Amino acid sequence: MSELDPRQVRTRAALHDAILVLAASTPTRSISMAALAREAGVNRSTVYQHYRSPAALLASVLLGELDVLRHTLLADRGPAEGSQRRVIFGVLEHLERHRCIYLRELTDPASELPAMLREHFEVSSRSLMQTSIPMPSKDPTTAAFLQACAPTWIAAASVAAMTAWLAQDERDPEAYFQAHRLLRPAWWP
């Protein structure tokens, strides 16, 4: 893939900022490409050159932040508990920073954001299982089934817990972390 020239970098940054501003007050499904172009100070055709929809742009922006956290977790060779804690707190900070967006989008049946988050956490969980988590079962059939279903289950449960956490008037990251430890399987770090 070729590098973007400085003008393209500025355009993408303006589009990223614009979608965060617009999505903070408007459901993503109600944001038009014209409104996005206006907020970013670019032509509508420019928006289409970079993203297929406002939802795709929002997913790209939010996933970019989450991918940094995933990379940190997978690169951390320290104790699993400490790594998980740092990443979970990082994810909670990300959710808090974009709370108005996530709170609305995670409860909107038409939103693409819940599926995007589940997929992100499923990939993260699958990577952790392949690199850091010993299988709790020596039975090959059970171990294979766990490898197939556990990442999906962990991801769905995590998104549900995050949605509930965001809905709280007072959000305590430590309380979330402790509840997460109690809810996840005992063999999960």
- Give the Cα separation of 189 and 175 in Å (integer): 17
For residues 92-119, average pLDDT: 94
Q: Which of residues 9 and 24 earns the better pLDDT score?
A: 24
Residue (of 19, 53, 11, 13) closest to 36 by Cα position: 19
Residue 127 burial (C-beta neighbours within 10 Å; 0-12, 13-18, 19+): middle
The per-residue pLDDT for 1 is: 47
Task: Tell me the pLDDT of the chain averaged across its residues.
Answer: 89
DSSP H helical ranges for the chain: 6-23, 33-40, 44-50, 54-75, 80-97, 99-105, 113-131, 140-167, 173-183
For residues 8-18, average pLDDT: 93
The per-residue pLDDT for 108 is: 92
Question: Is residue 72 scored above 60 in pLDDT?
Answer: yes
The per-residue pLDDT for 97 is: 96
For residues 56-68, average pLDDT: 94
Q: State how far Cα 120 lies from the chain centre.
A: 6
- The secondary structure of residue 186, as a DSSP letter, is T
Q: Which of residues 66 and 134 earns the better pLDDT score?
A: 66
The confidence band for 79, taking pLDDT boundaries of 50, 70 and 90, is low
- Give the Cα separation of 61 and 64 in Å (integer): 5
HSE value, Cβ hemisphere, 13 Å, CA-based, for 103 = 14
